Amino acid sequence: MPENPEELCRQPAPGPGFDPFGWLKGSRQLNRARHIGAVLIRYGFAELAAKFGLERRLKLGHKAWSDVAALTEPERLVKAFEELGPTFIKLGQMLSTRPDIMPPDYLKALAKLQDSVPGIPYDTVERVIGAETCRLPGDVFAEFDREPLAAASLSQVHRAKLATGEEVAVKVQRPGIATMVEGDLAILASVARFIERHQPDLAAYDPVGLVNEFGRGLGLELDFVHEGQNADICRRNFAADESVVIPKIYWDYTTRRLLVLDLLTGVKPTDAAGLERAGVDRHKLGQSGSSVYMKMIFKHGFFQPDPHPGNLIVMSGGRLGVIDFGMFSRIDTDTRDLLVDMLLAAYQQDSNRLTRFVLKVGSKTGRVDEVLLRADIQDLLDRYYGANLRELSLGRMLRELVAVSHRHRIAIPAGLAMLARGLATVEGLGLLIDPQFNFVEEMKPFLERLAWRRFGPLGWFKDIRRSAADIESLARDLPADLRQISDWLKKGEVKLQIDHEELRQIARSLSHSNNQLAAAIVLAAIIIGASLLVVAAPTALRALVPVIGVVAFVAAGVIGVYLFLAVLRGE
Protein backbone atom coordinates (compact mmCIF):
# COMPACT_ATOMS: atom_id res chain seq x y z
CA MET A 1 0.00 0.00 0.00
CA PRO A 2 1.59 3.31 -1.06
CA GLU A 3 2.02 5.80 1.75
CA ASN A 4 2.05 8.90 -0.46
CA PRO A 5 -1.52 10.13 -1.18
CA GLU A 6 -0.42 11.47 -4.58
CA GLU A 7 0.65 7.96 -5.60
CA LEU A 8 -2.81 6.67 -4.63
CA CYS A 9 -4.47 9.13 -7.02
CA ARG A 10 -2.18 8.04 -9.84
CA GLN A 11 -3.12 4.36 -9.50
CA PRO A 12 -5.24 3.37 -12.51
CA ALA A 13 -8.62 1.77 -11.94
CA PRO A 14 -8.55 -2.00 -12.41
CA GLY A 15 -9.03 -2.76 -16.08
CA PRO A 16 -8.25 -5.22 -18.86
CA GLY A 17 -4.78 -3.80 -19.58
CA PHE A 18 -3.29 -2.83 -22.96
CA ASP A 19 -5.61 -3.99 -25.75
CA PRO A 20 -5.60 -1.44 -28.63
CA PHE A 21 -7.49 -3.66 -31.12
CA GLY A 22 -9.94 -5.26 -28.69
CA TRP A 23 -8.57 -8.78 -29.34
CA LEU A 24 -8.09 -9.63 -25.68
CA LYS A 25 -11.56 -8.34 -24.87
CA GLY A 26 -13.06 -10.47 -27.66
CA SER A 27 -11.18 -13.53 -26.45
CA ARG A 28 -12.31 -13.00 -22.86
CA GLN A 29 -15.93 -12.60 -23.92
CA LEU A 30 -15.75 -15.76 -26.02
CA ASN A 31 -14.37 -17.73 -23.07
CA ARG A 32 -17.00 -16.21 -20.78
CA ALA A 33 -19.78 -17.10 -23.25
CA ARG A 34 -18.49 -20.69 -23.37
CA HIS A 35 -18.51 -20.78 -19.56
CA ILE A 36 -22.10 -19.47 -19.44
CA GLY A 37 -23.26 -22.08 -21.94
CA ALA A 38 -21.40 -24.87 -20.13
CA VAL A 39 -22.96 -23.90 -16.77
CA LEU A 40 -26.46 -23.86 -18.28
CA ILE A 41 -25.92 -27.32 -19.74
CA ARG A 42 -24.46 -28.70 -16.50
CA TYR A 43 -27.63 -27.65 -14.71
CA GLY A 44 -29.85 -29.32 -17.30
CA PHE A 45 -30.62 -26.36 -19.55
CA ALA A 46 -29.17 -27.67 -22.82
CA GLU A 47 -32.36 -26.72 -24.66
CA LEU A 48 -32.14 -23.18 -23.27
CA ALA A 49 -28.49 -22.89 -24.33
CA ALA A 50 -29.49 -24.04 -27.82
CA LYS A 51 -32.33 -21.48 -27.98
CA PHE A 52 -29.89 -18.75 -26.97
CA GLY A 53 -27.50 -19.76 -29.74
CA LEU A 54 -24.75 -20.73 -27.30
CA GLU A 55 -24.64 -24.47 -27.91
CA ARG A 56 -24.26 -24.46 -31.69
CA ARG A 57 -21.95 -21.43 -31.95
CA LEU A 58 -19.66 -22.38 -29.06
CA LYS A 59 -19.60 -26.16 -29.62
CA LEU A 60 -20.58 -27.04 -26.06
CA GLY A 61 -21.05 -30.49 -24.61
CA HIS A 62 -24.30 -32.05 -23.43
CA LYS A 63 -23.37 -33.49 -20.05
CA ALA A 64 -25.48 -32.41 -17.07
CA TRP A 65 -24.57 -32.91 -13.44
CA SER A 66 -26.28 -35.91 -11.90
CA ASP A 67 -26.43 -34.32 -8.43
CA VAL A 68 -28.88 -31.61 -9.61
CA ALA A 69 -31.41 -34.06 -11.02
CA ALA A 70 -33.40 -34.01 -7.78
CA LEU A 71 -33.86 -30.22 -7.95
CA THR A 72 -36.79 -28.59 -9.69
CA GLU A 73 -36.15 -26.59 -12.86
CA PRO A 74 -36.51 -23.19 -11.10
CA GLU A 75 -34.13 -24.34 -8.34
CA ARG A 76 -31.57 -25.42 -10.93
CA LEU A 77 -31.83 -22.02 -12.65
CA VAL A 78 -31.15 -20.30 -9.31
CA LYS A 79 -28.07 -22.50 -8.75
CA ALA A 80 -26.82 -21.73 -12.27
CA PHE A 81 -27.25 -17.96 -11.77
CA GLU A 82 -25.45 -18.10 -8.41
CA GLU A 83 -22.51 -19.92 -10.05
CA LEU A 84 -22.38 -17.44 -12.95
CA GLY A 85 -21.81 -14.55 -10.56
CA PRO A 86 -22.88 -10.94 -9.94
CA THR A 87 -24.47 -10.03 -13.28
CA PHE A 88 -26.65 -13.13 -13.36
CA ILE A 89 -27.59 -12.85 -9.68
CA LYS A 90 -28.81 -9.32 -10.41
CA LEU A 91 -30.52 -10.57 -13.59
CA GLY A 92 -32.36 -13.21 -11.56
CA GLN A 93 -33.40 -10.64 -8.97
CA MET A 94 -34.70 -8.38 -11.73
CA LEU A 95 -36.63 -11.25 -13.36
CA SER A 96 -38.16 -12.05 -9.96
CA THR A 97 -39.91 -8.66 -10.18
CA ARG A 98 -41.42 -9.41 -13.63
CA PRO A 99 -44.55 -11.60 -13.35
CA ASP A 100 -45.31 -10.67 -16.96
CA ILE A 101 -42.26 -12.70 -18.07
CA MET A 102 -41.63 -15.47 -15.54
CA PRO A 103 -44.05 -18.20 -14.35
CA PRO A 104 -45.04 -18.15 -10.64
CA ASP A 105 -42.75 -21.03 -9.59
CA TYR A 106 -39.75 -19.26 -11.15
CA LEU A 107 -40.70 -15.97 -9.49
CA LYS A 108 -40.75 -17.68 -6.10
CA ALA A 109 -37.38 -19.41 -6.66
CA LEU A 110 -35.60 -16.36 -8.10
CA ALA A 111 -36.75 -14.21 -5.18
CA LYS A 112 -34.54 -16.41 -2.96
CA LEU A 113 -31.34 -15.69 -4.89
CA GLN A 114 -28.54 -15.13 -2.41
CA ASP A 115 -26.32 -12.15 -3.16
CA SER A 116 -23.66 -12.99 -0.55
CA VAL A 117 -20.04 -13.86 -1.30
CA PRO A 118 -16.73 -13.95 0.63
CA GLY A 119 -15.37 -10.50 1.47
CA ILE A 120 -12.45 -8.93 -0.40
CA PRO A 121 -9.14 -8.58 1.52
CA TYR A 122 -8.62 -5.50 3.66
CA ASP A 123 -5.61 -4.29 1.66
CA THR A 124 -7.82 -4.25 -1.45
CA VAL A 125 -10.39 -2.18 0.45
CA GLU A 126 -7.62 0.23 1.43
CA ARG A 127 -6.52 0.60 -2.20
CA VAL A 128 -10.08 1.41 -3.35
CA ILE A 129 -10.55 4.00 -0.57
CA GLY A 130 -7.14 5.50 -1.30
CA ALA A 131 -7.74 5.69 -5.05
CA GLU A 132 -11.15 7.34 -4.55
CA THR A 133 -10.20 9.87 -1.85
CA CYS A 134 -6.46 10.43 -2.54
CA ARG A 135 -5.97 9.82 1.19
CA LEU A 136 -5.02 6.90 3.34
CA PRO A 137 -7.98 5.29 5.18
CA GLY A 138 -6.48 6.33 8.53
CA ASP A 139 -6.56 9.95 7.36
CA VAL A 140 -10.22 9.69 6.26
CA PHE A 141 -11.74 7.85 9.23
CA ALA A 142 -11.02 7.98 12.95
CA GLU A 143 -11.91 4.27 13.13
CA PHE A 144 -12.39 1.64 10.44
CA ASP A 145 -13.31 -2.03 11.05
CA ARG A 146 -11.21 -4.42 9.01
CA GLU A 147 -13.96 -7.08 8.96
CA PRO A 148 -16.98 -6.22 6.78
CA LEU A 149 -20.49 -6.06 8.21
CA ALA A 150 -21.80 -7.58 4.98
CA ALA A 151 -20.34 -8.68 1.65
CA ALA A 152 -22.27 -8.87 -1.62
CA SER A 153 -21.32 -9.48 -5.24
CA LEU A 154 -20.97 -5.79 -6.17
CA SER A 155 -19.69 -4.31 -2.92
CA GLN A 156 -19.15 -4.78 0.80
CA VAL A 157 -19.89 -2.65 3.86
CA HIS A 158 -17.58 -1.72 6.77
CA ARG A 159 -18.34 0.09 10.03
CA ALA A 160 -16.33 3.26 10.56
CA LYS A 161 -16.28 6.48 12.57
CA LEU A 162 -15.63 9.95 11.22
CA ALA A 163 -13.27 12.40 12.89
CA THR A 164 -16.36 14.39 13.94
CA GLY A 165 -17.67 11.36 15.86
CA GLU A 166 -20.49 10.09 13.58
CA GLU A 167 -20.70 6.30 13.18
CA VAL A 168 -21.03 5.50 9.50
CA ALA A 169 -21.34 2.60 7.10
CA VAL A 170 -18.74 2.62 4.32
CA LYS A 171 -19.84 0.83 1.14
CA VAL A 172 -16.84 -0.15 -1.02
CA GLN A 173 -17.23 -1.35 -4.60
CA ARG A 174 -15.35 -4.50 -5.59
CA PRO A 175 -12.38 -3.76 -7.90
CA GLY A 176 -12.94 -4.82 -11.51
CA ILE A 177 -16.65 -5.49 -11.07
CA ALA A 178 -17.65 -2.82 -13.61
CA THR A 179 -15.48 -4.45 -16.30
CA MET A 180 -16.94 -7.89 -15.54
CA VAL A 181 -20.50 -6.57 -15.68
CA GLU A 182 -19.79 -4.74 -18.96
CA GLY A 183 -18.56 -7.97 -20.58
CA ASP A 184 -21.55 -9.98 -19.34
CA LEU A 185 -23.97 -7.32 -20.60
CA ALA A 186 -22.33 -7.44 -24.05
CA ILE A 187 -22.90 -11.22 -24.14
CA LEU A 188 -26.51 -10.84 -22.97
CA ALA A 189 -27.11 -8.18 -25.64
CA SER A 190 -25.74 -10.55 -28.30
CA VAL A 191 -27.99 -13.36 -27.04
CA ALA A 192 -30.99 -11.00 -27.04
CA ARG A 193 -30.38 -10.04 -30.69
CA PHE A 194 -30.05 -13.72 -31.61
CA ILE A 195 -33.38 -14.48 -29.90
CA GLU A 196 -35.16 -11.66 -31.73
CA ARG A 197 -33.91 -12.95 -35.08
CA HIS A 198 -34.33 -16.70 -34.59
CA GLN A 199 -36.86 -17.31 -31.77
CA PRO A 200 -40.19 -15.64 -32.67
CA ASP A 201 -41.94 -17.22 -29.67
CA LEU A 202 -39.48 -15.46 -27.31
CA ALA A 203 -39.10 -12.29 -29.38
CA ALA A 204 -42.53 -11.15 -28.15
CA TYR A 205 -40.93 -10.50 -24.74
CA ASP A 206 -38.68 -7.80 -26.30
CA PRO A 207 -35.38 -9.37 -25.15
CA VAL A 208 -33.26 -6.50 -26.51
CA GLY A 209 -35.33 -3.95 -24.60
CA LEU A 210 -35.22 -6.15 -21.50
CA VAL A 211 -31.41 -6.37 -21.59
CA ASN A 212 -31.10 -2.62 -22.23
CA GLU A 213 -33.38 -1.90 -19.27
CA PHE A 214 -31.43 -4.32 -17.07
CA GLY A 215 -28.07 -2.89 -18.17
CA ARG A 216 -29.21 0.66 -17.46
CA GLY A 217 -30.40 -0.31 -13.98
CA LEU A 218 -27.25 -2.24 -13.17
CA GLY A 219 -25.08 0.63 -14.41
CA LEU A 220 -26.89 3.02 -12.07
CA GLU A 221 -26.49 0.53 -9.21
CA LEU A 222 -22.72 0.57 -9.78
CA ASP A 223 -22.74 4.37 -9.49
CA PHE A 224 -22.74 5.10 -5.75
CA VAL A 225 -23.27 8.82 -6.41
CA HIS A 226 -26.61 7.92 -7.97
CA GLU A 227 -27.45 5.71 -4.98
CA GLY A 228 -26.65 8.59 -2.64
CA GLN A 229 -28.96 10.85 -4.64
CA ASN A 230 -31.75 8.27 -4.30
CA ALA A 231 -31.21 8.27 -0.53
CA ASP A 232 -31.39 12.07 -0.42
CA ILE A 233 -34.70 12.04 -2.34
CA CYS A 234 -36.15 9.50 0.12
CA ARG A 235 -34.81 11.49 3.06
CA ARG A 236 -36.62 14.61 1.82
CA ASN A 237 -39.80 12.65 1.08
CA PHE A 238 -39.95 11.21 4.63
CA ALA A 239 -38.55 14.22 6.50
CA ALA A 240 -41.81 14.67 8.46
CA ASP A 241 -42.39 10.94 9.13
CA GLU A 242 -40.91 9.81 12.45
CA SER A 243 -41.77 6.13 11.85
CA VAL A 244 -39.10 5.72 9.14
CA VAL A 245 -35.38 6.51 9.21
CA ILE A 246 -33.42 7.35 6.05
CA PRO A 247 -29.62 7.60 6.56
CA LYS A 248 -27.75 10.79 5.82
CA ILE A 249 -25.19 10.70 2.98
CA TYR A 250 -21.77 12.22 3.68
CA TRP A 251 -20.98 13.75 0.31
CA ASP A 252 -17.47 14.89 1.26
CA TYR A 253 -16.42 11.21 1.27
CA THR A 254 -18.76 9.72 -1.37
CA THR A 255 -17.61 8.91 -4.93
CA ARG A 256 -18.73 6.56 -7.72
CA ARG A 257 -17.08 3.60 -5.95
CA LEU A 258 -17.37 4.72 -2.33
CA LEU A 259 -20.54 5.50 -0.36
CA VAL A 260 -20.46 6.83 3.21
CA LEU A 261 -23.78 7.07 5.08
CA ASP A 262 -25.19 6.91 8.61
CA LEU A 263 -24.85 3.50 10.26
CA LEU A 264 -28.30 2.15 11.15
CA THR A 265 -28.40 -0.67 13.70
CA GLY A 266 -31.28 -2.87 14.74
CA VAL A 267 -33.04 -6.16 14.05
CA LYS A 268 -33.99 -7.76 10.75
CA PRO A 269 -37.76 -7.54 10.17
CA THR A 270 -37.93 -11.33 9.68
CA ASP A 271 -36.15 -12.10 12.98
CA ALA A 272 -39.18 -12.91 15.15
CA ALA A 273 -37.11 -13.74 18.25
CA GLY A 274 -35.07 -10.54 17.91
CA LEU A 275 -38.22 -8.44 17.50
CA GLU A 276 -39.70 -10.01 20.61
CA ARG A 277 -36.54 -9.34 22.64
CA ALA A 278 -36.59 -5.72 21.46
CA GLY A 279 -40.22 -5.38 22.51
CA VAL A 280 -41.41 -4.47 19.01
CA ASP A 281 -45.15 -4.74 18.31
CA ARG A 282 -45.20 -6.88 15.18
CA HIS A 283 -48.72 -5.82 14.21
CA LYS A 284 -47.76 -2.13 14.28
CA LEU A 285 -44.53 -2.93 12.46
CA GLY A 286 -46.47 -4.59 9.62
CA GLN A 287 -48.73 -1.54 9.40
CA SER A 288 -45.75 0.83 9.48
CA GLY A 289 -43.86 -1.10 6.78
CA SER A 290 -46.84 -1.21 4.40
CA SER A 291 -47.55 2.48 5.07
CA VAL A 292 -43.98 3.41 4.10
CA TYR A 293 -44.26 1.52 0.83
CA MET A 294 -47.72 2.91 0.03
CA LYS A 295 -46.38 6.43 0.55
CA MET A 296 -43.45 5.66 -1.76
CA ILE A 297 -45.85 4.58 -4.52
CA PHE A 298 -49.04 6.60 -4.17
CA LYS A 299 -47.72 9.80 -2.58
CA HIS A 300 -44.12 10.24 -3.74
CA GLY A 301 -44.07 8.14 -6.94
CA PHE A 302 -40.54 6.97 -6.05
CA PHE A 303 -40.29 3.36 -4.87
CA GLN A 304 -38.18 0.21 -4.56
CA PRO A 305 -39.19 -2.41 -7.15
CA ASP A 306 -37.88 -5.22 -4.92
CA PRO A 307 -38.43 -4.30 -1.24
CA HIS A 308 -36.98 -7.52 0.21
CA PRO A 309 -36.21 -7.81 3.96
CA GLY A 310 -32.46 -7.25 3.43
CA ASN A 311 -33.18 -3.62 2.49
CA LEU A 312 -34.85 -2.88 5.83
CA ILE A 313 -33.91 -2.86 9.51
CA VAL A 314 -36.09 -2.41 12.61
CA MET A 315 -34.60 0.18 14.97
CA SER A 316 -35.38 1.22 18.54
CA GLY A 317 -38.95 2.25 19.14
CA GLY A 318 -40.16 0.14 16.21
CA ARG A 319 -38.89 2.66 13.66
CA LEU A 320 -38.18 1.24 10.21
CA GLY A 321 -34.78 1.99 8.67
CA VAL A 322 -34.14 1.78 4.91
CA ILE A 323 -30.52 0.83 4.15
CA ASP A 324 -30.29 0.17 0.40
CA PHE A 325 -31.03 2.72 -2.33
CA GLY A 326 -29.35 1.19 -5.40
CA MET A 327 -32.54 0.25 -7.26
CA PHE A 328 -35.38 2.78 -7.21
CA SER A 329 -38.00 3.48 -9.87
CA ARG A 330 -40.35 6.35 -10.57
CA ILE A 331 -44.06 6.03 -11.29
CA ASP A 332 -45.76 9.00 -12.94
CA THR A 333 -49.17 10.41 -12.04
CA ASP A 334 -50.91 8.88 -15.07
CA THR A 335 -49.67 5.38 -14.20
CA ARG A 336 -50.74 5.84 -10.58
CA ASP A 337 -54.18 6.93 -11.74
CA LEU A 338 -54.44 3.90 -14.04
CA LEU A 339 -53.44 1.60 -11.18
CA VAL A 340 -56.13 3.11 -8.95
CA ASP A 341 -58.70 2.77 -11.76
CA MET A 342 -57.77 -0.89 -12.28
CA LEU A 343 -57.93 -1.69 -8.56
CA LEU A 344 -61.32 0.02 -8.23
CA ALA A 345 -62.65 -1.83 -11.29
CA ALA A 346 -61.45 -5.11 -9.80
CA TYR A 347 -63.02 -4.28 -6.42
CA GLN A 348 -66.34 -3.46 -8.15
CA GLN A 349 -66.22 -6.68 -10.24
CA ASP A 350 -66.43 -4.58 -13.43
CA SER A 351 -64.78 -6.80 -16.05
CA ASN A 352 -65.66 -4.46 -18.94
CA ARG A 353 -63.90 -1.49 -17.36
CA LEU A 354 -60.93 -3.60 -16.24
CA THR A 355 -60.57 -5.00 -19.77
CA ARG A 356 -60.53 -1.46 -21.20
CA PHE A 357 -57.79 -0.47 -18.75
CA VAL A 358 -55.68 -3.53 -19.61
CA LEU A 359 -55.98 -2.74 -23.33
CA LYS A 360 -55.17 0.93 -22.65
CA VAL A 361 -52.11 0.37 -20.47
CA GLY A 362 -50.68 -2.61 -22.39
CA SER A 363 -49.26 -2.94 -25.90
CA LYS A 364 -50.47 -5.66 -28.25
CA THR A 365 -47.81 -8.11 -29.45
CA GLY A 366 -50.26 -9.98 -31.70
CA ARG A 367 -53.93 -10.32 -32.55
CA VAL A 368 -56.09 -9.96 -29.40
CA ASP A 369 -59.53 -11.51 -29.04
CA GLU A 370 -61.16 -8.90 -26.78
CA VAL A 371 -64.23 -11.04 -26.11
CA LEU A 372 -62.10 -13.93 -24.87
CA LEU A 373 -59.89 -11.53 -22.86
CA ARG A 374 -62.97 -10.07 -21.14
CA ALA A 375 -64.23 -13.59 -20.35
CA ASP A 376 -60.90 -14.58 -18.78
CA ILE A 377 -60.79 -11.38 -16.71
CA GLN A 378 -64.36 -12.08 -15.54
CA ASP A 379 -63.29 -15.61 -14.54
CA LEU A 380 -60.43 -14.09 -12.56
CA LEU A 381 -62.76 -11.68 -10.76
CA ASP A 382 -65.27 -14.45 -10.07
CA ARG A 383 -62.63 -16.40 -8.16
CA TYR A 384 -62.38 -13.52 -5.68
CA TYR A 385 -66.09 -12.65 -5.60
CA GLY A 386 -67.49 -12.78 -2.08
CA ALA A 387 -64.05 -13.17 -0.48
CA ASN A 388 -63.60 -11.12 2.65
CA LEU A 389 -60.60 -8.86 3.11
CA ARG A 390 -58.85 -11.50 5.20
CA GLU A 391 -58.99 -14.02 2.32
CA LEU A 392 -58.14 -11.61 -0.48
CA SER A 393 -54.52 -11.57 -1.69
CA LEU A 394 -53.89 -8.41 -3.71
CA GLY A 395 -50.45 -9.58 -4.81
CA ARG A 396 -51.75 -12.88 -6.17
CA MET A 397 -54.64 -11.15 -7.98
CA LEU A 398 -52.28 -8.66 -9.66
CA ARG A 399 -49.91 -11.44 -10.72
CA GLU A 400 -52.82 -13.40 -12.18
CA LEU A 401 -54.05 -10.31 -14.05
CA VAL A 402 -50.59 -9.81 -15.55
CA ALA A 403 -50.50 -13.52 -16.54
CA VAL A 404 -53.93 -13.25 -18.23
CA SER A 405 -52.75 -10.19 -20.16
CA HIS A 406 -49.62 -11.98 -21.33
CA ARG A 407 -51.61 -15.05 -22.37
CA HIS A 408 -53.62 -12.78 -24.67
CA ARG A 409 -50.47 -11.27 -26.19
CA ILE A 410 -50.68 -7.97 -24.30
CA ALA A 411 -47.36 -6.72 -22.93
CA ILE A 412 -47.75 -4.86 -19.64
CA PRO A 413 -45.27 -1.95 -19.21
CA ALA A 414 -42.22 -2.94 -17.19
CA GLY A 415 -42.88 -0.25 -14.57
CA LEU A 416 -46.39 -1.49 -13.88
CA ALA A 417 -45.27 -5.13 -13.79
CA MET A 418 -42.49 -4.28 -11.31
CA LEU A 419 -45.00 -2.33 -9.24
CA ALA A 420 -47.28 -5.38 -9.10
CA ARG A 421 -44.33 -7.48 -7.97
CA GLY A 422 -43.37 -4.87 -5.36
CA LEU A 423 -46.88 -4.84 -3.90
CA ALA A 424 -46.87 -8.64 -3.76
CA THR A 425 -43.47 -8.62 -2.01
CA VAL A 426 -44.67 -6.10 0.60
CA GLU A 427 -47.75 -8.23 1.21
CA GLY A 428 -45.59 -11.33 1.72
CA LEU A 429 -43.17 -9.45 4.00
CA GLY A 430 -46.09 -8.15 6.07
CA LEU A 431 -47.36 -11.68 6.58
CA LEU A 432 -43.87 -12.81 7.66
CA ILE A 433 -43.79 -10.06 10.29
CA ASP A 434 -47.40 -10.49 11.41
CA PRO A 435 -49.46 -13.58 10.42
CA GLN A 436 -52.64 -11.48 10.92
CA PHE A 437 -51.44 -8.77 8.52
CA ASN A 438 -54.00 -7.79 5.85
CA PHE A 439 -52.62 -5.73 3.01
CA VAL A 440 -55.96 -4.79 1.46
CA GLU A 441 -57.11 -3.19 4.72
CA GLU A 442 -53.83 -1.24 4.93
CA MET A 443 -54.22 -0.04 1.34
CA LYS A 444 -57.81 1.15 1.73
CA PRO A 445 -56.99 4.62 3.18
CA PHE A 446 -54.50 5.34 0.38
CA LEU A 447 -56.88 4.13 -2.35
CA GLU A 448 -59.78 6.12 -0.88
CA ARG A 449 -57.71 9.32 -0.83
CA LEU A 450 -56.47 8.71 -4.36
CA ALA A 451 -59.96 7.87 -5.60
CA TRP A 452 -61.31 11.11 -4.06
CA ARG A 453 -58.46 13.06 -5.62
CA ARG A 454 -59.04 11.26 -8.93
CA PHE A 455 -62.86 11.47 -9.14
CA GLY A 456 -63.69 14.30 -6.74
CA PRO A 457 -64.06 17.99 -7.63
CA LEU A 458 -60.29 18.54 -7.58
CA GLY A 459 -59.80 15.66 -10.04
CA TRP A 460 -62.50 17.03 -12.33
CA PHE A 461 -60.92 20.46 -12.25
CA LYS A 462 -57.52 18.98 -13.19
CA ASP A 463 -59.08 16.95 -16.05
CA ILE A 464 -60.91 20.01 -17.34
CA ARG A 465 -57.76 22.13 -17.17
CA ARG A 466 -55.75 19.41 -18.95
CA SER A 467 -58.47 19.05 -21.61
CA ALA A 468 -58.63 22.82 -22.05
CA ALA A 469 -54.90 22.90 -22.69
CA ASP A 470 -55.24 20.09 -25.26
CA ILE A 471 -58.13 21.85 -27.00
CA GLU A 472 -56.20 25.12 -27.07
CA SER A 473 -53.19 23.35 -28.62
CA LEU A 474 -55.44 21.61 -31.18
CA ALA A 475 -57.15 24.89 -32.14
CA ARG A 476 -53.77 26.60 -32.56
CA ASP A 477 -52.23 23.84 -34.70
CA LEU A 478 -55.30 22.73 -36.72
CA PRO A 479 -55.28 25.47 -39.43
CA ALA A 480 -51.62 24.85 -40.26
CA ASP A 481 -52.16 21.08 -40.31
CA LEU A 482 -55.18 21.39 -42.63
CA ARG A 483 -53.21 23.69 -44.94
CA GLN A 484 -50.37 21.13 -45.05
CA ILE A 485 -52.78 18.29 -45.88
CA SER A 486 -54.37 20.44 -48.62
CA ASP A 487 -50.94 21.10 -50.17
CA TRP A 488 -50.14 17.37 -50.14
CA LEU A 489 -53.45 16.56 -51.86
CA LYS A 490 -52.86 19.19 -54.55
CA LYS A 491 -49.37 17.86 -55.26
CA GLY A 492 -50.45 14.22 -55.16
CA GLU A 493 -48.03 13.46 -52.34
CA VAL A 494 -50.49 11.64 -50.07
CA LYS A 495 -49.46 8.02 -49.60
CA LEU A 496 -51.26 5.17 -47.89
CA GLN A 497 -48.92 3.06 -45.79
CA ILE A 498 -50.08 -0.33 -44.51
CA ASP A 499 -47.93 -2.01 -41.88
CA HIS A 500 -49.12 -5.51 -41.03
CA GLU A 501 -46.97 -8.16 -39.37
CA GLU A 502 -48.62 -11.06 -41.24
CA LEU A 503 -48.04 -9.32 -44.58
CA ARG A 504 -44.37 -8.84 -43.65
CA GLN A 505 -44.09 -12.53 -42.81
CA ILE A 506 -45.67 -13.45 -46.17
CA ALA A 507 -43.25 -11.10 -47.95
CA ARG A 508 -40.28 -12.69 -46.16
CA SER A 509 -41.52 -16.17 -47.07
CA LEU A 510 -41.94 -15.16 -50.73
CA SER A 511 -38.46 -13.65 -50.73
CA HIS A 512 -36.95 -16.89 -49.36
CA SER A 513 -38.96 -18.93 -51.90
CA ASN A 514 -37.74 -16.72 -54.76
CA ASN A 515 -34.14 -17.16 -53.62
CA GLN A 516 -34.56 -20.94 -53.50
CA LEU A 517 -36.27 -20.97 -56.91
CA ALA A 518 -33.48 -18.88 -58.45
CA ALA A 519 -30.84 -21.17 -56.95
CA ALA A 520 -32.75 -24.24 -58.23
CA ILE A 521 -32.91 -22.78 -61.78
CA VAL A 522 -29.17 -22.03 -61.70
CA LEU A 523 -28.53 -25.56 -60.41
CA ALA A 524 -30.59 -27.12 -63.20
CA ALA A 525 -28.88 -24.92 -65.83
CA ILE A 526 -25.42 -25.91 -64.60
CA ILE A 527 -26.25 -29.64 -64.61
CA ILE A 528 -27.86 -29.52 -68.08
CA GLY A 529 -25.08 -27.31 -69.51
CA ALA A 530 -22.35 -29.52 -68.08
CA SER A 531 -24.06 -32.66 -69.42
CA LEU A 532 -24.46 -31.19 -72.93
CA LEU A 533 -20.84 -30.02 -72.89
CA VAL A 534 -19.61 -33.50 -72.02
CA VAL A 535 -21.80 -35.19 -74.63
CA ALA A 536 -21.56 -32.77 -77.56
CA ALA A 537 -18.29 -30.89 -77.06
CA PRO A 538 -16.29 -30.01 -80.21
CA THR A 539 -13.17 -32.08 -80.92
CA ALA A 540 -10.87 -29.14 -80.21
CA LEU A 541 -12.23 -28.84 -76.67
CA ARG A 542 -12.18 -32.54 -75.75
CA ALA A 543 -9.11 -32.06 -73.51
CA LEU A 544 -10.81 -29.33 -71.45
CA VAL A 545 -14.19 -31.03 -71.10
CA PRO A 546 -13.31 -33.19 -68.05
CA VAL A 547 -12.01 -30.15 -66.12
CA ILE A 548 -14.98 -27.91 -66.99
CA GLY A 549 -17.42 -30.74 -66.24
CA VAL A 550 -15.90 -31.43 -62.82
CA VAL A 551 -15.96 -27.72 -61.90
CA ALA A 552 -19.58 -27.40 -63.06
CA PHE A 553 -20.72 -30.47 -61.14
CA VAL A 554 -18.88 -29.28 -57.98
CA ALA A 555 -20.65 -25.91 -58.26
CA ALA A 556 -23.95 -27.73 -58.72
CA GLY A 557 -23.21 -29.82 -55.64
CA VAL A 558 -22.49 -26.73 -53.53
CA ILE A 559 -25.74 -25.08 -54.62
CA GLY A 560 -27.61 -28.32 -53.99
CA VAL A 561 -26.23 -28.57 -50.44
CA TYR A 562 -27.21 -24.93 -49.83
CA LEU A 563 -30.77 -25.61 -51.01
CA PHE A 564 -31.01 -28.73 -48.84
CA LEU A 565 -29.81 -26.88 -45.72
CA ALA A 566 -32.12 -23.94 -46.44
CA VAL A 567 -35.11 -26.29 -46.63
CA LEU A 568 -34.09 -27.95 -43.36
CA ARG A 569 -33.81 -24.54 -41.63
CA GLY A 570 -37.16 -23.48 -43.05
CA GLU A 571 -35.68 -20.41 -44.76
Task: Indicate which residues carry an active-site annotation.
Answer: 306
Closest CA to 92 of 79, 100, 104: 79
d(CA 342, CA 266): 38
d(CA 69, CA 476): 68
Torsion of CA 115, 417, 397, 407, to 10 degrees: -110
Q: Which residues, in sequence order, are CB contacts of 165 under 8 Å at separation 6+? A: 142
DSSP string, 380-437: HHHHHTT--TTT--HHHHHHHHHHHHHHTTEEPPHHHHHHHHHHHHHHHHHHHH-TT-
Q: Which helix (H) or strand (E) holds 160?
A: strand 155-161
First CA to last CA distance, the chain: 61
Residues in the chain: 571
Q: What are φ and ψ of residue 322, in 5° steps?
A: -100, 130
Distances (CA, A) of 535 to 66, 72, 207, 557: 63, 67, 57, 20
d(CA 370, CA 355): 8
The partner residues of 522 in beta bridges, in order of sequence, read none
Question: 166's torsion region: left (phi>0), alpha (psi -120 to 50) or beta?
Answer: beta
